[in-house]
Every structure is written in structure tokens, then in C-alpha cells.
Structure 1
Amino acid sequence: MMGGSHAATGALAGVAATGLLAPLFGVPAGPVELTAAAGIGAGAALLPDLDHPNSTATRSQGPATGLVSRGARALSAAVYRRTRTRGDRVSDGEHRYLLHTPLFALAVGAAVGVVCSLWWQALAVVLWLTLSLALRGLGQCLPRGRNRRELGSWPTVSLLAGVATALLVGWGGVATGGYVGAVLAMGMIVHSLGDALTRTAVPLAWPVRIRGQRWRMVGMPHGLRFSTGSPVELVIRWGCLLGTPALGAALLV
């Protein structure tokens, strides 16, 4: 799994999205907003892997997220069966299918935006969930040891995410539901783009047909793809980790 790398790319995407979208939603791009966006983006970048039973997102909240994962896999499989063409390869339609499409990410982002605009409690829950996922994902970037184990512990992560949520909501760091939904969608899309760089690729164009296949796996040319855990992945991970604060500082100037 690329949990650490997905979280790193999502953090960078969240900060970049704030720089682009904050004026549209009337949100100031200050230090608090950029910090919140990095957390939302990093956590959202783990959400597509709810379609895998052993992913960080699936295991993050025990039986609760396990149940969500089962529902997500069932939905993905059902949509795959209903929309596949004769040219599509035979598959169970679960991992790296519906949840890994940009269209699904945009739909989730829009739904989150509407719900969070209507109820501030929903905004707090989304923020807590994404921050808890962000801590887990970014914790995987740390060297193996006590600190990494602590950031993989449910009580520790849940408590830290709860404190961070209370502070960010109290300081007004997440002003509008639409803004949160947009950043969340961006994080999910970045996850899919990252997977498109790997050997397996993902159905980025769904539901558009490519050569008769609605679920055609789209990615980089085969010679440029890499395996998970390879040096290329580590370069991307650390480039994003270092680039996130650098971009945030540039936006504050």
C-alpha cells in the first residue's frame, strides 16, 4: 500500500487547492486555512482505498470503517457489473474501480459540500475523520519506531484529530462546506492519479469508453510506471512532503 505517499501528495494538493479555490469560496488563505487544507487533503487521499479490506482507511476506525469498506466494495462491484462492456476484462470490480475514478471523487466532494453546508456538526465529523486519516498516513512516512507506532494507534490518533478539529473549527479554519468538499475531492483525485503511475493503473476515464472498454485502466506509458515501494515512489513522497510547507509559505507571501 502507498498510504504514506498518498497522504503526502494529498497534503500538497490540499494546499494547492486552497490557493486556487479560496477566493471562489470566500475563504482566506491564511496559516490556519492552509493547515486545515493540508490535513483534509492528506486524509482524503486515503479514502479511495476503502475499496480494499486491509487498507489504512478501512482499518482506521475498526468495525465502523470495516462496514463502510464492505459497502463501498459492494457498490463498486455492482456499478462495475451494470456498466462493463464486452471489451472490459473480467474482474470482481472492487479494488481500483469505482472509488478510484475522478467522477466518483467529484460526486463525494459535492455531497460532502452540501451536507457540511447544512450542518456544522457534519463539517466537524468530516474534519475529524480526514485529520485522523492524515495522521495515520503521514505517520507511515516516519522511520519505524515508537512515534510511528503511536500514530498507528486508534486512541492516540482519534484524540489528536479531535483536539485539532476543535482548534480549527474554533479558529474558523474551515469556513464553508463547499470549500471542504472541493479540497476533499481534490485529495481523492490525487490518489487516483498517483495509482495511475503504478503498474496496475486505474480507470481514470470512466464512464467514457476507450477502445470499447468503459473500465480501461489508464496510466503512464508502461515503461514509465513504477512499483509500490520503489525509489521513484520515495522521491515523489518526499518531494511532496517538502513541497507542502514551501508552497504554503509562498501562498502567505
Structure 2
Amino acid sequence: MMGQSHAISGALVYAATASFLPEKVFGTVPGPSEILVGTLLCAGAALLPDVDHQDATPAHLLGPVSRALCRLVGRLCGGHRHATHSLLFVALTGAGTWAGVTRLGDGFTHALTFVLLFLAGRALHLHPPGHGPTAWLTSVGLAAIGTASVAAWVPGIAAWLPYTVGLGALTHVLGDFLTRRGVPLLWPLRRRFELPLIRRTGGKLETRLFVPVMTVATVAALWWTVFSPLLAVS
């Protein structure tokens, strides 16, 4: 699947489940602002498994530096869609995020928030067209503003950030499970699992059906969980 598809699917899964899954996990229901922020962060987290590809969205974070890092990760993992597209990687992202917010505190939380917002903005094309300096600076600026806003008005983010990151990574893996190449869910076992509903990445089925439907569904879910309660209170 394309980066945009992964980001929208991450946003959709979070928005659609925010009213009941977090309560089962944490014993509390996130408020409207937390759901809105979580939707964007989950959209960004849904790009993390592609850290093994030098041309994917994560490679644009730091230009040549991040591209080289993604190339290195790809080599260490055996290429694209190997170790980082497994249930083990999903578990490690969630556990790593928990360890970071627990041991490193606000610095880690805010840095990861910035990265996820940057990835979401890039994948959802919330910047001028292209990959030049203007597009990059716009993405950085939006991520910085978003991170500062989250730090000021959503103080409890550290409690549910590991859940959000893990959910986004899982959504990505399941999305690629729907394509012809499949994913090695049980890596390091080499067997690939697939349900090839999407036979060509970026094809008409994905771009003209899946992406529009997921976008509308995300907006509907946010309306139900975020804006409808706010309007009811007012």
C-alpha cells in the first residue's frame, strides 16, 4: 500500500476504536482533544514499518541522513517488508515507546510526537507539492506547531502514546497483508501471509476506492467521537 493509504488507515482505525478500545486497555475514555490528536499520531505511526525503505515517507524526515538510515535498516532486516512488517516489530514499537516515555520522560514524548506528526503531514500531503525545501519546511513547521500544542493542551499523552504507536504499526502490517507480496507476520520465520485484495500498489482499487472510502469513514468516525459530543455540550 502507498504511504497515504497507510496513514489514512491508521487514522481510521484509531478514530473508529477510540470510544471503546482505550477504555478496555487503560480503564478510561479519551476526551475529544485526545482522540483528535491520537488520530493524527496513529496516522504517523502507521508509516513506521516502512523505515526499511529508502524512498518511503520516514526517509524524508532528515533528508540524506534519514534516507541512509532507512537504507541501513533495510539491509539489516533483509530488505523491504521483512522484519519491520511483523508482529514482533509491532510489539517492539509499543514496548519501546512505553520504555521511552517511562524512562526518558517529556523529552522523548515530545520528540516522538514531532516525528509522528511530521510523518502524518507528509503522507497526507499537508504541504506544498514535491519533495523540495518548501515542502520539507512546511512539514517541519506544522509538526513543530502541533507538538507545542500537544505539550500545552494534551498533558496526558504519555499514558496512551505506546498504545497509539503500536496500533498504527499493526494497521500498517495488516494493510500490507492485503497485498500480493504479503508480510512475514511471524518473523523471524520466513513464511509470508497474504489476503491479496489489492493486487497492485497505487492501482485504481487502492486510489479510487480504498482511499476515498477510508477518508470518508475517518471523517465520520471523528464526527461521531469528537465533534458531536462537543456540539452536544455547547
TM-score w.r.t. the length of structure 2 is: 0.85
1:159 CA displacement: 0.8
Runs of 4+ off more than 4 Å: none
Where does residue 214 of structure 2 map in the other structure? 240
Where does residue 154 of structure 1 map in the other structure? 136
Give the CA RMSD over aligned residues: 2.3
Contact 1:52 1:95 in 2 (8 A): yes
Contact 1:115 1:177 in 2 (8 A): no
Match of 1:202 among 180, 183, 196: 183
Where does residue 184 of structure 1 map in the other structure? 165
Residues 111 and 167 (structure 1 numbering): CA distance in 2 closer, same or farther, change over 3 Å? same
Q: Superposition pairs for residues 206-225 of structure 1, below 5 Å?
A: 206-207=187-188, 214-220=189-195, 222=196, 224-225=197-198
Q: Superposition pairs for residues 94-113 of structure 1, below 5 Å?
A: 94-113=79-98
* CA distance in 2 between partners of 1:191 and 1:11 (Å): 11
Flag structure 2 segments of 5+ consecutive residues without an equivalent. Answer: 230-234
* CA distance in 2 between partners of 1:51 and 1:191 (Å): 13
Q: Superposition pairs for residues 64-213 of structure 1, below 5 Å?
A: 64-76=65-77, 93-118=78-103, 119-139=105-125, 147-149=128-130, 153-172=135-154, 175-207=156-188
- Specify the code of the residue in structure 1 equivalent to 2:192: M
* CA distance in 2 between partners of 1:117 and 1:3 (Å): 30
1:26 CA displacement: 5.4
* CA distance in 1 between partners of 2:27 and 2:108 (Å): 20
Deviation per residue, 1:124-153 (Å, 9 max, x gap): 01111000000000118xxxxx84348981
- Alignment length, in residue pairs? 223
Contact 2:32 2:225 in 1 (8 A): no
* CA distance in 2 between partners of 1:241 and 1:104 (Å): 26
Flag structure 1 segments of 5+ consecutive residues without an equivalent. Answer: 77-92, 141-145, 208-213
TM-score w.r.t. the length of structure 1 is: 0.79
Where does residue 79 of structure 1 map in the other structure? none
Q: Structure 1 residues 180-189 or 23-32, which shifts more? A: 23-32
